[in-house]
Amino acid sequence: MSIVLIVEDEILEQDFLKSIILQELTQDDTLLTCESGVQAIKLAKQYQPNIIIMDIMIPELDGMSAIEEIKKFLPNTSIIVLSALSDFHYAQKAIRLQVLDYLLKPVKPAVLKQVFCKILTSTAKYRVKEFDNKKSTKPKECRQHFIEESLKYIKEHFREKLTLKKVSSKVFINSKYFSRVFKKEMGISFSEYVMKLRIQHACQLLEKTNYPAYRIAIECGFSDASYFNRVFYSQMDMTPKSYRKYAQASKLKD
| 3-state DSSP of the chain | CCEEEEECCCHHHHHHHHHHHHCCCCCCCEEEEECCHHHHHHHHHHHCCCEEEEECCCCCCCHHHHHHHHHHHCCCCEEEEEECCCCHHHHHHHHHCCCCEEEECCCCHHHHHHHHHHHHHHHHHHHHHHHHHHHHHHHHHHHHHHHHHHHHHHHHHCCCCCCHHHHHHHCCCCHHHHHHHHHHHHCCCHHHHHHHHHHHHHHHHHHHCCCCHHHHHHHCCCCCHHHHHHHHHHHHCCCHHHHHHHHHHHHHHC
Strand partners, 80: 53, 101
Span 110-135, pLDDT tens digits: 998 998 888 888 887 877 777 777 66
Pick from 235, 230, 158: nearest CA to 203: 235
Domains recognised in the chain with CATH numbers? 3-107 (3.40.50.2300), 192-253 (1.10.10.60)
Average pLDDT, the chain: 87
- CA 49, 53, 56, 60 dihedral sign is negative
**Higher confidence at residue 39 or residue 98?**
39
Neighbours of 175 (CB within 10 A): 15
Separation between Cα atoms, residue 100 and residue 135, nearest integer Å? 28
Question: Sorting pLDDT into bands at 50, 70 and 90, what band is 190?
Answer: very high
Q: What is the pLDDT of residue 70?
A: 93
The pTM score is: 0.54
- Report residue 217's pLDDT band, with 50, 70 and 90 as the boundaries: very high
Q: Is 229 exposed, middle or buried (0-12, 13-18, 19+ CB in 10 A)?
A: middle
- Rounded average pLDDT over 54-67: 88
Share above pLDDT 90 across residues of the chain, in percent, rounded to a whole number: 49
Asked if the model's pLDDT at residue 187 lies above 60, the reply is yes
Instruction: For residues 193 and 164, give the distance between their C-alpha atoms in angstroms, rounded to a whole number.
Output: 11
pLDDT band of 142, cuts 50, 70, 90? confident
Lowest average pLDDT, out of 136-140, 144-148, 207-211, goes to: 136-140
Asked whether the predicted pLDDT for residue 88 surpasses 60, the reply is no
| pLDDT at residue 137 is higher than 80 | no
pLDDT (mean) for 199-220: 93
Entry field: residues in the chain? 254
**pLDDT, tens only, 155-166:** 999 999 899 999
Among 38, 24, 26, smallest CA distance to 1 is for 26
